[in-house]
């Protein structure tokens, strides 16, 4: 990237996407100081299909590749569910991830002390601390395998190469080295060939990290363990589909899916997005929780713009807003009147 001015691509997408990205951009602008960054909008998902016939127009890919970081809202909605597979909003997002080569998706699931009551789990199950880093492989596996539909039979191939598993395993081990040095690799090696390769490869990479304790779980047991004893997890490394599922479970333990951000990285520009979807049931009502997107924006500033201090101000402001008792409706437990999307955003700005 040779541009002098820092540029962030903003892709609102569908449903609550516009509301939550607007919130994040407002907070980022305030934290950074005006005019230091240009935020340029692009279309993706259903809205892009409506405007151009393609859920990922070439202009959007060009914009992303010419930016220092990308902030995405969410894509999808009933309106586009009837479309053929490659025209669906979700296909636009998958193609973007693939085109950018962002194979490593980091999904930190952290429970804020103030939100313990919002968790569906009992306090003694949550324990003292919940701080899990889910490392999800993002550009391979069943999402991108050969697909076939012949009349009443359909298939999706789940394939992984050793190279793909090795590179994501290394990312996970590096994460673990900076944390509590414990990795849980999740697979289905009792049934799937691709999982057997996954497990063998993780074991091989583990030899270079003797300080890290490695544990393997099958996905079905992992889903149960996440609910009965989430405190056992430090870093989780897993494939594309298992990571998608286990991160939704982890998110709700933290109080709401509206709290979980993500960073997707590869060798080029990185993509930041909340882990939740376009939530069509609450779109345009000013009730969506914008915090996952705001935290994703802060991660973008930290990792892609080298603005560590400014990002820290955002993380702290969110903590202070929660400490002061402000909530959106998805995390509101005490029967008070929850704030709307715009109003909680304003509070976060006030606490910066």
Ligand X SMILES: CC(C)[C@H](C(=O)O)[C@@H](O)C(=O)O
The residue behind tokens 């400490």 is 323
Residue 68 binding: pick among ligand X, Mg ion, ligand NAD, none (C-beta 5-8 Å cut-off by kind): none
Of 14 and 302, the one with the shorter C-beta distance to ligand NAD is: 14
Smallest distance, ligand X to C-beta of residue 46, A: 12
Cβ distance to ligand X smaller for residue 277 or 338: 277
Residue 54 contacts Mg ion per CB under 5 A: no
Among 164, 244, 302, 310, binds ligand X (CB under 6 A): 244
Q: Is 125 annotated as a binding residue?
A: no
Whether 47 has a binding-site annotation, put simply, is no
3: which 2 tokens? 């541009």
Task: Using the minimum distance from each CB to ligand X, give the nearer residue, 217 or 246.
Answer: 246
Cβ distance 214 to 185 under 8 Å? yes
Residue closest to Mg ion (Cβ): 244
User: Does the annotation flag 288 for ligand binding?
Assistant: yes
Buried b / exposed e along 124-152 (16+ C-beta atoms within 10 A): eebeeebebbbbbbbbbbbbbeeeeeeee
> Residue 21 CB, nearest distance to ligand X (Å)?
15
- Distance between CA atoms of residues 257 and 249, nearest Å: 9
Q: What are the start-end ranges of the E strands in 167-273?
A: 182-187, 213-218, 235-238, 263-265, 271-272
Q: Which stretch binds ligand X (CB under 6 A): 90-98, 120-128, 294-302, 318-326?
A: 90-98
* Stretch (H or E) spanning 92: helix 89-100
Binders of ligand X among 51-80, rule CB under 6 A?
Answer: 76
Catalytic center residues: 143, 188, 220, 244, 248
Residue 48 in marked binding region = no
Instruction: Give the side-chain half-sphere CA count within 13 A for 71.
Output: 35
The residue from 31, 94, 100, 318 that contacts ligand X (CB under 6 A) is 94
250 near ligand X (CB under 6 A) = no
User: Which of 273, 310 has the CB closer to ligand NAD?
Assistant: 273
DSSP for residue 179? T
Residues in the chain: 352
Interacting residues with Mg ion between 236 and 255 (CB under 5 A): 244
197 touches ligand X (CB under 6 A): no
DSSP 3-state percent helix, strand, coil across the chain (nearest 5): 50, 20, 35
Q: How far apart are CA 218 and CA 224, in angstroms?
A: 10
Q: Which of residues 273-312 bind ligand X (CB under 6 A)?
A: 275, 277
CA distance 67 to 59: 12
Q: How far is CA 238 from CA 105, 224, 327, in A?
A: 10, 16, 32
| Closest CB 131 distance from ligand NAD, rounded Å | 21
Long-range contacts, 284-288 (Cβ 8 Å, 24+): 284/16, 284/19, 286/19, 286/340, 286/341, 286/342, 287/328, 287/329, 287/338, 287/340, 287/341, 288/16, 288/19, 288/20, 288/258, 288/328, 288/341
Residues found near ligand NAD in the complex (CB under 6 A): 16, 74-77, 90, 93, 257-258, 273, 276-282, 288-289, 292, 330
CB nearer to ligand NAD: give 37 or 258. Answer: 258
Binding site for Mg ion (CB under 5 A): 244
Annotated binding site for NAD(+): 277-289
Binding site for ligand X (CB under 6 A): 76, 90, 93-94, 244, 275, 277
Annotated binding site: 97, 107, 136, 220, 244, 248, 277-289
């Amino acid at each position: 990237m040779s541009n002098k001015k820092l540029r962030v691509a903003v892709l609102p997408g569908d449903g609550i996407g516009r509301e939550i990205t607007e919130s994040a951009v407002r907070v980022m602008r305030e934290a950074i100081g005006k005019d230091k960054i240009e935020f340029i909008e692009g279309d993706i998902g259903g809205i892009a299909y409506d405007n151009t016939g393609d859920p990922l127009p070439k202009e959007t890919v060009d914009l992303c590749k010419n930016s220092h970081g990308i902030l995405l809202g969410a894509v999808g909605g009933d309106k586009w569910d009837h479309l053929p597979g490659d025209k669906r909003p979700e296909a636009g997002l998958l193609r973007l991830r693939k085109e950018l080569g962002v194979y490593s998706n980091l999904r930190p699931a952290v429970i804020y002390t103030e939100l313990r009551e919002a968790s569906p789990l009992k306090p003694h199950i949550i324990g003292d601390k919940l701080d899990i880093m889910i490392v999800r492989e993002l550009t391979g596996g069943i999402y991108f395998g050969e697909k076939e539909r012949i009349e009443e039979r359909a298939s999706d191939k789940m394939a992984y190469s050793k190279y793909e598993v090795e590179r994501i395993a290394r990312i996970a081990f590096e994460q673990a080295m900076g944390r509590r040095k414990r990795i849980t690799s999740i697979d289905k090696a009792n049934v799937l060939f691709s999982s057997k390769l996954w497990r063998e490869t993780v074991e091989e990479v583990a030899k270079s990290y003797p300080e890290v304790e490695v544990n393997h779980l099958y996905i079905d047991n992992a889903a149960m363990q996440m609910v009965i004893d989430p405190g056992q997890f430090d870093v989780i490394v897993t494939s594309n589909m298992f990571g998608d599922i286990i991160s939704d479970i982890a998110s709700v333990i933290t109080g709401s899916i509206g709290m979980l951000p993500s960073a997707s990285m590869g060798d080029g520009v990185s993509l930041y997005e909340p882990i939740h979807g376009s939530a069509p049931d609450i779109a345009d009502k000013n009730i969506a929780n914008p915090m996952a997107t705001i935290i994703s924006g802060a991660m973008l500033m930290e990792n892609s713009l080298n603005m560590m201090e400014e990002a820290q101000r955002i993380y702290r402001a969110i903590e202070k807003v929660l400490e002061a008792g402000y909530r959106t409706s998805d995390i509101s437990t005490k029967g008070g009147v929850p704030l709307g999307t715009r109003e909680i955003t304003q509070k976060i700005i006030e606490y910066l």
